[in-house]
Structure 1
């Protein structure tokens, strides 16, 4: 990987992102607004406060991945459709420089997303947890990184932005059903439980659930963090191999 072209890619992508107010709002503001909306949904529900606190923490393990997957895949397709990538391929830029630069830029932006989401839950909505909010923040960042890596990987298999969006139910929707948000994973049919262990969102939900219930840093929590990091890095490593050099 060339450090100069990598750094140039990071600067270019950050400039594009920060110059698009709608994308910035989608990344930074929308997840926090969704959690606030959820608090109103449970306000008058029986035992709503306890249910909301559980689900709000899980949302921190769901929303960053979902939002970053969508934004990253669509943005990369836009680059290909506009011909920007084909022009970049005529330079000394390598696939690894491009995709690693994209991943870095989007992950940096997700720091603001994660900070705002955690701040809204911890101080704005009064969600209480047994562990540290710092660990929750780390989970959100790893979760966002996995979403970015999966978005870059999936974009290689799409020809249009619409096709990239169509991957959303397959890649993200399935994970939301199996991650433990709706039904505890150990209460699912055996086949679904085993499948859920292969999905990164399940590891993120495991992490925030453990942080919410205990103040100790357990081996299971470290394993959850490790699995998220490994899955993200593997997806990012495979993405350059599948990335086409010409727009089809």
Structure 2
């Protein structure tokens, strides 16, 4: 199992902190936020991680190196030269697929570089279960926060994700398992959002979900970043 960490965003809401530092490289408790994911993925046995970048992309390899100090290999998908700019989530994943390698398997982890998930361990049992299913994606959801009170998806009694009409609804924790086939129809270099891809999978009953156990925070503002420093 390999992984993609999404790190291409500009971080507008966190300016001026992100004027000179990409949001995933901002420090939390003495180390860049993205390193919490890298260390947890390494501990779960992941040995290749693709990081998609755009804003201040050169800082990622300069800060993180080639991954050897984490016991794995880091690969960078740099979108900064794309004519349309950063490619959004689905477009960024589609562009990064070749870096997973031909032997990278049909499925991989995806996690946003700007969320704090200190208790999430990228469970191998969940990955094995997903690989032996016919699902296209599996998401971890969390309870809604004040800045996103309406949530994103519900969960059926069978464990399938439900669309906007579901009640209750929860917030996607920006971590999940995905199959390559979800993104192979998106031409590399195309800007594409993830939400339509997920909604299509829901319509086809190919998207499952479960509630996240443990701490979670979308580090979207300077105030939320400061709250993690205690």
**For the superposition of Structure 1 and Structure 2, which TM-score range results when normalised by the shorter chain?**
under 0.3
Largest Rg, 1 or 2: 1
| TM-score, reference length from structure 1 | 0.25
Higher strand share: 2
| Greater relative CO (CA pairs within 8 A, separation 6+) | 1
Higher helix share: 1
| TM-score, reference length from structure 2 | 0.27
